[in-house]
């Protein structure tokens, strides 16, 4: 507590110079002046005294022909002069800090992630309905209530999370994966792709195709319709005219596996001579403070100026009653130009790899690849080597399709 009151009232460290400095101390103590930290330095006395007692100590020193020299002064009273001279600057700084603290209590950016089928606008409107929008105060909503409301209002979601970081609100969602509706009524098995039939296995219905037959997308592979003469319940040897009128074609849910040869195509290219521009790893960073009145450079890291470079700027800004205040960071990356040449064989391998990579994205897992063929489609005079890669794949191309009974 003594140290606290000393700092509030102010502490002065002094040097008492003269023939009899100890007499100054004795007279000061006899008059109730509190003195501590007494040291003998070169036949002079150093000590500490409160700022409220410094004038009285100087008067005592004058009485006995001694001199009081101030070494240092600490405490709140000695800040008054500085505060008075810099009152405008200190007031402005306090207002700025309070404004930043106040503005950081609001949401200024709302981001959405994880949505594919659900529209971003729908998520933003739902979140805004329950209090999360640009300019919303953080204390005006509950994260748990907003998450539950989003799940309740949007049926296609299984998970919703609201994450508040600074002035940003991140809404992360996971959509429901709905199973395909199974066909239970009469149906055909139709081709989903063009191909050449390799194998047909009929579980229900009547096969409309056979091995090595060429089919197109939409062709009926396994029919779910038995015509009159094909109906196993009908015998043409015993039926009369009345039976022909009564018995109708039989409709079933066709099922089976129809495998066919299907061709996939991929494209790839490679320049025989390519100019590459790469970053060397050297960079220069400059940080600026942007206010409505000026743009000031705060500091720069890296003194080297690059002859060939690209820039990236990262801007962080907030809107205040005084206007926009931003902190901008500009990073310059040094780049070098390099000419790379490929032989025809190297270019062919690179182009083929690109084509196969594009094909693998189209192909499903566990597909049986029969053959792969590579064809160069560019002219010899071209500086770019282009190839087309075709793959012959055996896969099930059948898909159930309801029969239009009418």
- Say whether pLDDT at 333 is over 80: yes
**55 and 168 co-located in one domain:** no
Q: Is residue 8 part of a domain?
A: yes
CB of 118 within 8 A of CB of 129?
no
Which of the listed residues 320, 336, 352 is the one where a domain comes to its end?
336
Q: Is residue 40 part of a domain?
A: yes
| Domains: count for the chain | 4
Mean pLDDT of 373-382: 85
Which of the listed residues 131, 153, 175 is the one where a domain comes to its end?
175
Please tell me the pTM assigned to this model: 0.42
CATH of the domain at 132: 3.10.20.310
pLDDT at 181: 62
**138 and 236 co-located in one domain:** no
pLDDT digits 0-9 by tens, 383-398: 888 999 988 888 899 9
- Say whether pLDDT at 319 is over 80: no
**362 and 248 co-located in one domain:** yes
**199 and 252 co-located in one domain:** yes
Q: Is residue 96 part of a domain?
A: no
Which of the listed residues 290, 318, 336 is the one where a domain comes to its end?
336
**62 and 132 co-located in one domain:** no
Q: Is residue 101 part of a domain?
A: no
Tokens at residue 235, please?
């015998």
**Which helix (H) or strand (E) element contains residue 27?**
helix 21-30
pLDDT digits 0-9 by tens, 190-215: 999 899 999 999 988 889 999 999 99
Nearest to 135 by CA among 172, 93, 106, 166: 106
DSSP per-residue string spanning 356-406 = HHHHHHHSPTTPEEEEEEEEE-S-TT-SEEEEEEEEEEEEE-EEEEE----
pLDDT digits 0-9 by tens, 341-369: 888 888 889 989 998 888 887 776 656 67
Nearest to 156 by CA among 176, 173, 171, 172: 176
pLDDT at 77: 67
**154 and 252 co-located in one domain:** no
CATH of the domain at 48: 3.30.70.260
**Residue 23, Cβ neighbours under 10 Å: how many?**
17
**36 and 18 co-located in one domain:** yes
**133 and 242 co-located in one domain:** no
Q: Is residue 251 part of a domain?
A: yes
Q: Is residue 92 part of a domain?
A: no
Q: What is the percent of the chain where pLDDT is above 90?
A: 13
pLDDT at 104: 84
**164 and 205 co-located in one domain:** no
Q: Is residue 45 part of a domain?
A: yes
Q: What domain range includes position 323?
A: 277-336
**136 and 196 co-located in one domain:** no
Residue 33's pLDDT band (cuts 50, 70, 90): confident
- In whole angstroms, give the CA distance from residue 60 to residue 26: 10
**153 and 60 co-located in one domain:** no
**70 and 210 co-located in one domain:** no
pLDDT digits 0-9 by tens, 210-267: 999 999 999 999 988 876 555 555 455 454 555 554 456 788 888 899 999 998 888 9
Q: How far is CA 20 from CA 24, 30, 69, 154, in A?
A: 7, 16, 15, 91
Q: Is residue 98 part of a domain?
A: no
């Amino acid at each position: 507590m003594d140290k606290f009151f000393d700092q509030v009232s102010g502490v002065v460290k002094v040097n008492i110079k003269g023939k009899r400095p100890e007499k100054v101390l004795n007279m000061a103590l006899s008059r109730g002046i509190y003195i501590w930290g007494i040291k003998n330095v070169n036949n002079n006395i150093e000590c500490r005294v409160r700022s409220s007692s410094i004038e009285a100590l100087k008067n005592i020193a004058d009485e006995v022909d001694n001199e009081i020299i101030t070494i240092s002064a600490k405490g709140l009273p000695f800040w008054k002069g500085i505060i008075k001279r810099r009152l405008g600057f200190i007031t402005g700084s306090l207002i700025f800090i309070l404004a930043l603290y106040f503005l950081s209590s609001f949401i200024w950016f709302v981001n959405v992630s994880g949505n594919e089928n659900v529209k971003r606008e729908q998520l933003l409107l739902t979140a805004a309905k329950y209090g999360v929008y640009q300019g919303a105060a953080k204390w005006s909503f509950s994260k748990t209530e907003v998450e539950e409301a989003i799940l309740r209002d949007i049926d296609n979601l299984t998970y919703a999370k609201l994450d508040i970081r600074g002035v940003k609100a991140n809404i992360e969602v996971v959509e429901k994966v709905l199973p395909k509706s199974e066909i239970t009524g009469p149906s055909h098995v139709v081709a989903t792709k063009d191909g050449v039939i390799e194998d047909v296995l009929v579980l229900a219905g009547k096969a409309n195709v056979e091995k090595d037959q060429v089919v197109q997308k939409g062709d009926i592979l396994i029919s779910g319709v038995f015509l009159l003469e094909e109906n196993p319940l009908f015998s043409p040897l015993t039926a009369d005219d009345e039976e022909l009128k009564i018995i109708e074609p039989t409709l079933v849910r066709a099922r089976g596996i129809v495998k066919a040869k299907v061709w996939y195509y991929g494209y790839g290219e490679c320049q025989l001579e390519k100019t590459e521009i790469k970053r060397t790893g050297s960079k220069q960073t400059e940080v600026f403070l942007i206010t409505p009145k000026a743009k000031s450079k705060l500091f720069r890291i890296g003194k080297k100026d690059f002859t060939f470079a690209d820039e990236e700027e990262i801007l962080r800004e907030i809107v205040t009653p005084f206007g926009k205040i931003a902190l901008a960071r500009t990073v310059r990356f040094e780049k070098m130009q390099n000419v790379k040449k490929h032989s025809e064989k190297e270019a062919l391998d690179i182009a083929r790899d690109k084509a196969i990579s594009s094909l693998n994205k189209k192909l499903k897992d566990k597909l049986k690849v029969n053959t792969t063929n590579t064809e160069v489609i560019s002219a010899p005079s071209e500086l770019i080597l282009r190839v087309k890669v075709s793959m012959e794949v055996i896969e099930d191309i059948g898909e159930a399709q309801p029969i239009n009974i009418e």
